Amino acid sequence: MSFGTRPFAALGASALREGLLDGQFSAREAAEACLARIGRYDGGVGSFLEVTPEMALRAADEVDEKVAMRRFEELGPLAGVPVAFKDNMNLAGAHTTCGSRVLAGHVARETAVCVQRVLDAGAIPIGKLNMDEFAFGSSTETSAFGRTCNPWDLERVPGGSSGGSAAAVAAGFVPIALGSDAGGSIRQPACLCGVVGVKPTYGLVSRQGVEAFAESLDQVGPFTRCVEDAALAIDVLAGRWSAGAWQTELSRAVRDDVRGMRVGMVPSFMDVAGLSGEMREAVLRAADALALQGASLREVEIPGAQVAMDAYRVLGPCRAFENLACFDLARYGVEDAQKLPLAVGAEARRRIVLGGYLLSTDEGARYRSAAKEVCRRIVDDYKHAFGSVDVILAPVTPRAAFRFGEITDPTEMHLSDMFTVSVNLAGNTAMSMPMGLGSQTGLPVGVQIIAAAGGEREMLRAAAALERAIGGPSVAPLFSA
């Protein structure tokens, strides 16, 4: 099923709404085409853990009924748009496994607030997406239900922990997918899969009904193939939309230019050992593109970011241990709590043991105190930097997508998030913006755009300017047919 000469896989939310209202296709046709594409191709990608065709077609029929009755004032800004959800987000009637066999039989009784807001805006619920077990990982290799492959190269990882979400958008299965980000778990896979990925300001999107890795760090956000869709999705997730309106404040803001915008560059980020040449080039190209459109470039420093990974590796396992301890295991299928360490994978066991140690020993208490002091320092560093710039450009991750099994050292794997974790510790907003293909690997590369808490408007303006200059992401060539 095509819209004009373009397949549904290439369409974003705006084009889908346009075709729906013009009568070029129905929401059911779009949903059926989406489901058929997943059935045909996802066996090779592994992005979905569960597909929900009954829910999808029921929601599509409700949209079609409103269109047929010309009740356009009742339609939300995502009417008829297929959306899928990371499998730590509850959708009533669907499984929520968090990528773990511990929760393999669990069917959600309620729907997470973030998911419900998307559904209330008219979206078509397509299914649940693969993830690293309990969001513990950076490659989606730790899922108990099998790995997800990068649509640009099926022998490489999609990133993590929201790898299923990034892959589903990159393969053209859905135009919008939701993920969660506690230290880079939206931005890093978005970069490796060549799509847009946004971590909103901490607290902007409700986490009620989302199984948390670390509730003091987690934030739900969207993956998309264009900046306008990301802006639209953020406003929907934040509850900032009204029925009958096809645009939101942020989706209109992305049309503004960047003349006079102050863009910060962090020299110490660019000189980090291990940063690949093509990722460094992506940041420099982004800076040049913004400067050509009237932005000014300035150097800033975030000294606390140098030790952000150390703080994260203390606070993250502590929060993870506390959250896992809150599970009513009998409800989720494990009657004996002592069996939990045997039921989960190696990475989850590693974090359970480390979190327990850090929370129960005097030495752990000292580490926690030092980590909290680092967080305060990072908050102050960012506040100082944003006194002189509107956004900061930085790398997203040190390298392009790596091959499965290539990184086996947990410490090296954690370094995938070296440029992203400081944003979570500070509660700021940030996103990954595709910058085409790397000169060395031919794989997707990207740039991170960071803004102060509440600074989504400026961040998305900068991203839209890059999209105009560089071009937006496309469906991966293996799945472009």
Closest to 459 measured CA to CA, from 361, 396, 391: 391
Q: Is the dihedral of CA 200, 422, 309, 214 positive or negative?
A: negative
The residues annotated with a catalytic role in the active site are 86, 161, 185
Q: Would you say 429 and 199 are in contact if contact means Cβ atoms under 8 Å apart?
A: yes
Q: Would you say 360 and 352 are in contact if contact means Cβ atoms under 8 Å apart?
A: no
Tell me the C-alpha distance between 368 and 213, whole Å: 17
Helix axes 113-120, 227-237, angle to 10 degrees: 110
Q: Which residues of 85-114 are buried (b: 16+ CB within 10 A; e: fewer)?
A: bbbbbbbeebbbbbbbbbbeebebeebbbb
Cis status of the peptide bond prior to 165, with omega within 30 of 0: no
Closest to 345 measured CA to CA, from 17, 104, 46, 20: 104
Closest to 117 measured CA to CA, from 88, 91, 87: 91
Strand order through the sheet with 82-86: 48-51, 124-129, 82-86, 176-180, 220-224, 196-199, 429-437, 444-451, 391-394, 262-265, 296-299
Structure tokens at 70: 């010309």
Tell me the C-alpha distance between 101 and 216, whole Å: 25
Tell me the C-alpha distance between 36 and 40, whole Å: 6
Instruction: Calculate ∠ Cα 101-104-106, nearest 5°.
Output: 140
Closest to 36 measured CA to CA, from 56, 6, 62: 56
Exposed, middle or buried: residue 121 (CB in 10 Å: 0-12, 13-18, 19+)? buried
Q: Is the dihedral of CA 25, 27, 32, 33 positive or negative?
A: positive
Q: Give the N- to C-terminal CA distance of the chain in Å, as an integer.
A: 12
Tell me the C-alpha distance between 223 and 191, whole Å: 10
Exposed, middle or buried: residue 285 (CB in 10 Å: 0-12, 13-18, 19+)? middle
